[in-house]
């Protein structure tokens, strides 16, 4: 039998107990001290530290802007001409990504694969000392809602994803990417009415067209989203909702605008000019129905000069030249540029002379080819356009129909310079009309000190002073609408973001310029111009109409450069519209022919009158004869937009392009003492011997 050996039992002696007691006491004292210190800090500075921690947790939401939507721009029929679509800026929180190296690669991969960002640039943002701790880096601007959803789907593919566990784990580590709301201005019809609509330089900055003039109305008030700590140290989020901008409804008619641009585009493509301007106005209200003011450009890409300049010309421009070219392209010729108007002012001058009693409806004037001015030995002879022929004895309607400079010079002499200058003031020549577009020009007219008898004579047929297109057409509206001068305008309604009408802008009658009786007389004189005078090329079959042509020789005289124009209305007894067409320096050898402007007007009116539901008043047996347009306009699509099914401009064959029309109105012979020209009829054309 074996005997098991027992182990000795260790006993804690007094020394060990003493050591344990001391250790326990020290630990207990440390804990008591720590609790005391925490209690003290909490009592004195706890709120401060809690705020710091909570504030850091909420940092990305502090002071976040909630953008307001800019108001829309509509035409008179509700078509949207300008609108703002919600887009998103992609924000990278570098500090958040850099918190864990496991976040870096998945986040960069997502930004590159989904949003197409540059990998090297993303790495640089995360490693560069100036950005790696930043919580706000815009890495891409104005992405669409679809792109935003694609990134969110990539980041969180959902339970039905076919990704492997490794792939899902990788994507779960994407962090520090968020999306900031913004709005992108867009123009559904691209270049249509570009000079009138204008564009935004940034979301709420604009200085061109209606966008610039009504910028304060269209611009809303941004909201804010931010967090703060209340007295109980709780984080609360406050949201101040944005107030969207107001929308504007304009008097523009999109269909009519497209008709105008179709004919202007064709003319510029096949013949060309330094500039072509067209305005159509409602003479009963002052509303602008269509306006085409020069170089065409895409409102969605307004800095693209390729519509006006070749790529080589653009590449050769320095910064200053580029800015000049852009400003020139963006300017609206219809309201900004002033020029010598030529004979389109003759009906206005004659109407004023009748109104003040300087002449009467029964007066006749004898055209003998021109007028002499000045003292003997230093005379200036200003010719009529038909010199050395003469129009002979003319009634007032003949003076307008023949566009007789001699007769107009005699009428101006009967008025006298003071009354003539008063007439220009009555019709707002030399003064802005107040149209609701920026950068309106005013033109330059003579004063009593600068106007002598020669200046008065030349002013009678529209040379020696300048005006703008909007001044001329608005004055003519007054002359043919019964004598009522309305302020021209484009915006008819202002609406809130829900479509409610905030304000309705009514026509503003500013003055009466001539009597209704005299207005009717002037309409009949201008009708004679279309019937058998200088304006007959503008005739649209089936409609009575009146018109007046203009040909102004540009400075310096004798350089062969002209600005030709036509202003007209229809029907004669109750005008539904007034159209004014200006062709500045047509690209032909002989520029001095108003027929270019008449052909453009004729083409536009042939479609515009039916489009506006203006009933023919000269139809025989209910049938309206077909208007034979200028050969240049053969092949234009019947569509008012002038575009094919693919949205591209339809091409016009270069074959059989007509030669420029023969000049039916000017005598090309000039002398040093005759530096003023305007169109007129020859004796044969006027039916004179």
CATH number of the domain to which 285 belongs: 3.40.710.10
Element (DSSP H or E) covering residue 522: helix 516-532
> Do the domain assignments include residue 331?
no
pLDDT band at 140 (very low <50, low <70, confident <90, very high): very high
CB 93 within 8 A of CB 267: no
CATH number of the domain to which 215 belongs: 3.90.1310.10
Please state the rounded mean pLDDT for residues 76-95. Answer: 94
Tens-place pLDDT, residues 474-501:
999 999 999 999 999 999 999 998 899 9
Residue 5 has pLDDT above 80, yes or no: no
Expressed in angstroms, the distance from the first to the final Cα of the chain is 169
Residue 100 has pLDDT above 80, yes or no: yes
Question: Which of 544 and 592 is assigned the larger pLDDT?
Answer: 544
Residues listed for the chain: 689
Tens-place pLDDT, residues 381-424:
998 988 889 999 999 999 999 999 999 999 999 999 999 999 99
- What is the overall mean pLDDT for the chain? 86
Question: Which of 647 and 447 is assigned the larger pLDDT?
Answer: 447
| DSSP letter, residue 650 | P
Q: Which of 250, 283, 306 is the last residue before a domain boundary?
A: 250
Residues 380 and 513 occupy one common structural domain:
yes
Task: Provide the token pair at 87.
Answer: 């887009």
Residues 547 and 593 occupy one common structural domain:
yes
pLDDT band at 25 (very low <50, low <70, confident <90, very high): confident
pLDDT band at 377 (very low <50, low <70, confident <90, very high): low
Residues 192 and 113 occupy one common structural domain:
yes
Residue 50 has pLDDT above 70, yes or no: no
Residues 212 and 279 occupy one common structural domain:
no
> Do the domain assignments include residue 9?
no
Residues 140 and 195 occupy one common structural domain:
yes
SS (H, E, C) 157-216: CCCCCCCCHHHHHHHCCCCCEEEEEEEEEECCCCCCCHHHHCCCCECCECCCHHHHHCHH
Q: Name every residue whose Cβ is closer than 8 Å to that of residue 106 and which is 6 or more positions away in sequence.
A: 170, 171, 173, 174
Which range among 84-98, 247-261, 651-665 shows the weakest confidence by mean pLDDT?
651-665
- Strand, coil or helix: what is 257? helix
Dihedral of CA atoms 266, 267, 273, 277 in degrees, nearest 10, equals -90
Q: Which of 584, 612, 633 is the last residue before a domain boundary?
A: 633
Residues 133 and 276 occupy one common structural domain:
no
pLDDT band at 58 (very low <50, low <70, confident <90, very high): very low
> Do the domain assignments include residue 122?
yes
Task: Provide the token pair at 520.
Answer: 């009717």
CB 538 within 8 A of CB 608: no
Residues 356 and 463 occupy one common structural domain:
yes
Please state the rounded mean pLDDT for residues 558-568. Answer: 93
Question: Which of 283 and 645 is assigned the larger pLDDT?
Answer: 283
Residues of the chain with pLDDT > 90, as a percent, come to 64
Residue 305 has pLDDT above 60, yes or no: yes
Q: How far from chain centre, in Å, is Cα 231? A: 52
Q: Write down the pLDDT at residue 658.
A: 37
Residues 237 and 261 occupy one common structural domain:
no
Residues 134 and 259 occupy one common structural domain:
no
Question: Which of 655 and 3 is assigned the larger pLDDT?
Answer: 3
> Do the domain assignments include residue 88?
yes
> Do the domain assignments include residue 41?
no
Q: Which of 591, 606, 633 is the last residue before a domain boundary?
A: 633
Which range among 22-31, 169-178, 186-195 shows the weakest confidence by mean pLDDT?
22-31
C-alpha dist (Å) from residue 340 to 288, 331, 396, 462, 464:
23, 19, 23, 6, 7
Please state the rounded mean pLDDT for residues 532-549. Answer: 96
C-alpha dist (Å) from residue 299 to 83, 188, 198, 209, 358:
12, 9, 7, 11, 50
Count: domains in the chain: 2
Dihedral of CA atoms 485, 486, 487, 491 in degrees, nearest 10, equals -160
pLDDT band at 317 (very low <50, low <70, confident <90, very high): very high
Residues 410 and 261 occupy one common structural domain:
yes
Closest among 585, 573, 578 to 618, alpha carbons compared:
573
> Do the domain assignments include residue 666?
no
Q: Write down the pLDDT at residue 6.
A: 61
Residue 678 has pLDDT above 80, yes or no: no
Q: Name every residue whose Cβ is closer than 8 Å to that of residue 235 and which is 6 or more positions away in sequence.
A: 54, 57, 58, 227, 228, 229
For residues 184 and 186, what is the distance between their CA atoms, to the nearest angstrom? Answer: 6
Q: Name every residue whose Cβ is closer than 8 Å to that of residue 77 and which is 6 or more positions away in sequence.
A: 253, 254, 255
Give the domain range for residue 539.
254-295+338-633
Element (DSSP H or E) covering residue 56: helix 14-57
Please state the rounded mean pLDDT for residues 538-552. Answer: 95
Task: Provide the token pair at 296.
Answer: 């065409």
Residues 209 and 96 occupy one common structural domain:
yes
Residue 261 has pLDDT above 90, yes or no: yes
Q: Write down the pLDDT at residue 2.
A: 53
* Triad 416, 485, 335: Cα angle to 5°: 90
Kindly tell me the burial class for residue 224, based on how many C-beta atoms sit within 10 Å of its own C-beta (0-12, 13-18, 19 or more).
middle
For residues 136 and 324, what is the distance between their CA atoms, to the nearest angstrom? Answer: 36
Q: Write down the pLDDT at residue 638.
A: 53
pLDDT band at 515 (very low <50, low <70, confident <90, very high): very high
Question: Which of 24 and 509 is assigned the larger pLDDT?
Answer: 509
> Do the domain assignments include residue 145?
yes
Task: Provide the token pair at 218.
Answer: 């269209």
CB 333 within 8 A of CB 277: yes
Q: Write down the pLDDT at residue 230.
A: 55
For residues 664 and 356, what is the distance between their CA atoms, to the nearest angstrom? Answer: 34
pLDDT band at 234 (very low <50, low <70, confident <90, very high): low
Bridge partners, 112 (sequence order)? none
> Do the domain assignments include residue 626?
yes
Q: Write down the pLDDT at residue 231.
A: 54
User: Rounded to the nearest 5°, which phi and psi values hold at 366?
Assistant: -105, 120
Residue 655 has pLDDT above 70, yes or no: no
Residues 366 and 459 occupy one common structural domain:
yes
Question: Which of 294 and 446 is assigned the larger pLDDT?
Answer: 446
Task: Provide the token pair at 254.
Answer: 């999109």
């Amino acid at each position: 039998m074996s005997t098991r050996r027992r182990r000795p039992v260790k006993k804690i002696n007094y020394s060990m107990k003493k050591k344990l007691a001391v250790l326990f006491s020290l630990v207990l004292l440390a804990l008591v001290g720590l609790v005391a210190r925490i209690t003290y800090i909490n009592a004195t500075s706890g709120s401060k530290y809690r705020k710091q921690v909570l504030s850091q947790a909420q940092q990305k939401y502090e002071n976040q802007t909630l953008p307001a939507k800019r108001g829309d721009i509509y035409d008179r029929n509700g078509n949207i001409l300008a609108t703002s679509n919600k887009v998103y800026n992609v924000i990278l929180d570098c500090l958040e990504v850099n918190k864990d190296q496991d976040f870096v690669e998945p986040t960069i991969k997502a930004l590159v694969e989904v949003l197409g960002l540059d990998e090297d640039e993303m790495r640089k943002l995360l490693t560069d000392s100036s950005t790696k701790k930043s919580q706000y880096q815009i890495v891409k601007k104005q992405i669409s809602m679809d792109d935003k959803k694609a990134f969110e789907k990539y980041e969180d593919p959902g339970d039905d994803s076919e990704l492997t566990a490794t792939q899902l784990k990788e994507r779960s580590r994407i962090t520090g990417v968020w999306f900031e709301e913004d709005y992108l201005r867009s123009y559904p019809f691209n270049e249509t009415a570009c000079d009138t609509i204008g564009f935004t330089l940034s979301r709420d900055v604009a200085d061109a067209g209606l966008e610039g003039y009504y910028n304060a109305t269209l611009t809303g008030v941004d909201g804010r989203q931010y967090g703060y700590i209340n007295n109980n140290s709780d984080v609360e989020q406050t949201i101040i909702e944005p107030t969207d901008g107001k929308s504007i409804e304009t008097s523009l008619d999109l269909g009519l605008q497209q008709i105008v641009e179709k004919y202007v585009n064709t003319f510029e493509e096949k013949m060309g000019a330094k500039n072509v301007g067209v305005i159509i106005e409602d003479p009963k209200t002052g509303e602008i129905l269509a306006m085409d003011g020069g170089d065409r450009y895409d409102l969605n890409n307004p800095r693209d000069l390729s519509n006006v300049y070749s790529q080589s010309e653009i590449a050769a421009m320095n910064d200053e030249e580029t800015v000049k070219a852009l400003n020139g392209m963006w300017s609206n010729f219809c309201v900004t540029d002033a020029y010598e108007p030529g004979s389109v002012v003759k009906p206005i001058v004659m109407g004023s002379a009748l109104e003040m009693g300087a002449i009467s409806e029964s007066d006749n004037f004898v055209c003998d080819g021109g007028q002499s001015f000045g003292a003997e030995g230093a005379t200036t002879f200003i010719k009529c356009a038909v010199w050395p022929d003469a129009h002979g004895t003319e009634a007032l309607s003949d003076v307008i129909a023949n566009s007789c400079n001699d007769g107009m010079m005699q009428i101006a002499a009967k008025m006298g310079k003071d009354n003539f200058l008063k007439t220009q003031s009555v019709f707002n020549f030399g003064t802005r009309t107040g149209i609701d577009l920026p950068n309106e020009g005013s033109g330059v007219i003579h004063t009593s000190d600068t106007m002598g008898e020669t200046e008065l004579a030349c002013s009678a047929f529209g040379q020696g002073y300048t005006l703008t297109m909007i001044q001329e057409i608005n004055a003519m509206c007054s002359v043919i609408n019964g004598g009522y001068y309305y302020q021209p305008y484009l915006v008819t309604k202002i609406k809130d973001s829900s479509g409610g009408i905030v304000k309705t802008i009514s026509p503003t009658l500013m003055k009466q310029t001539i009597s209704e009786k005299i207005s009717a007389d002037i309409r009949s004189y201008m009708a004679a111009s279309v019937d058998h005078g200088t304006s007959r090329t503008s005739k649209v079959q089936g409609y009575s109409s009146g018109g007046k042509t203009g040909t102004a020789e540009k400075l310096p005289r004798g350089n062969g450069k002209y600005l030709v124009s036509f202003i007209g209305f229809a029907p004669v007894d109750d005008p539904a519209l007034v159209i004014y067409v200006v062709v500045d320096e047509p690209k032909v050898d002989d520029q001095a022919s108003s027929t270019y402007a008449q052909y453009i007007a004729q083409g536009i009116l042939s479609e515009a009158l039916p489009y506006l539901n203006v009933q023919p008043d000269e139809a025989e047996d209910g049938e309206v004869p077909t208007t034979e347009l200028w050969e240049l306009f053969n092949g234009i699509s019947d569509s008012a937009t002038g575009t094919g099914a693919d949205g591209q401009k339809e091409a016009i064959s270069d074959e059989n392009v007509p030669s420029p029309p023969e000049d039916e109105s000017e005598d090309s012979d000039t002398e040093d003492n005759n530096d003023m020209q305007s169109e007129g009829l020859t004796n044969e054309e006027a039916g004179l011997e």
